[in-house]
Amino acid sequence: MERQAWILVALILVSGLVLTGCEQETIQQFQSDRVAVAGGADPPTDSFWAEVSFCRKIGRKTGKRIGCGDKFFPEQKSYVHGLVDFSGLVPGEVYAVHLVWLKPNGKEIFRRYAEIFLEAGDQGYTTHIAWKKAEDLGYLKEEVQERATPGCSLGSRLNISTSRNRELGRYAFKVYWNRELLVQRSFLIAET
């Protein structure tokens, strides 16, 4: 009889997930806010938000994004930097983020994975970012960002140098938040 009870509980849980979906409340609210912003509203200032942008280069001294846009041209040495700016993070929470690059045919090129932890301090917020690799369990690269507001920026770059011989076309950059797709944006690699 006990086995039947466990099976019934498992069926109820699975049916609940199917009916309600697996999306996190944060992602549901974000998607709702994105629709409002697309309709002309301002991005929310007091809740979770993420914005993806692309640029050719990032200034070493200033951190300024250079050559922002959605169309890039292969040159002898060139990259597309995919950046995601997060705001409205909750201090004390640990977030898992995947940054994924896709070819024009939809196949994955590579991904980066980070765990984010935000602390509130007297002068603002400190974000601890731990970059990890699935294929090297011992790999860890740590980064710290300090801001007045609860947020951070993550980035990854795709080498589009002529020596890489990347196919021309529309590529995509996906951001997964705690293992769920948060946002996707595309860009074009075109002939010069």
132 Cα distance to chain centroid = 14
pLDDT at 1: 46
pTM more than 0.75: yes
Superfamily in which the 48-189 domain is placed by CATH: Macroglobulin (MG2) domain (2.60.40.1930)
String of DSSP letters for 90-126: PTT-EEEEEEEEE-TTS-EEEEEEEEEEEEE-SSSEE
Higher-scoring residue by pLDDT: 37, 96? 96
The residues pairing with 82 across neighbouring beta strands, listed in sequence order, are: 54, 156
pLDDT at 23: 58
> pLDDT class for 30, splitting at 50, 70, 90?
confident
**Measured CA angle at 139 (ends 138, 143), to 5 deg:** 135
Q: Are 128 and 116 in contact (CB under 8 A)?
A: yes
Show me where the domains of the chain are located.
1-47, 48-189
Cα–Cα distances (Å) from 41 to 45, 46, 70, in that order, read 12, 14, 23
Residue 157 has pLDDT above 80, yes or no: yes
Task: Provide the token pair at 51.
Answer: 């914005």
Q: CB-based burial of residue 118 (10 Å sphere; 0-12 exposed, 13-18 middle, 19+ buried)?
A: buried
pLDDT band per the 50, 70, 90 thresholds, residue 22: very low
Beta strands in 134-168 (DSSP E): 136-147, 151-159
Residue 8 and residue 162 in contact, taking contact as beta carbons nearer than 8 Å: no
**Is residue 7 pLDDT above 50, yes or no?**
no
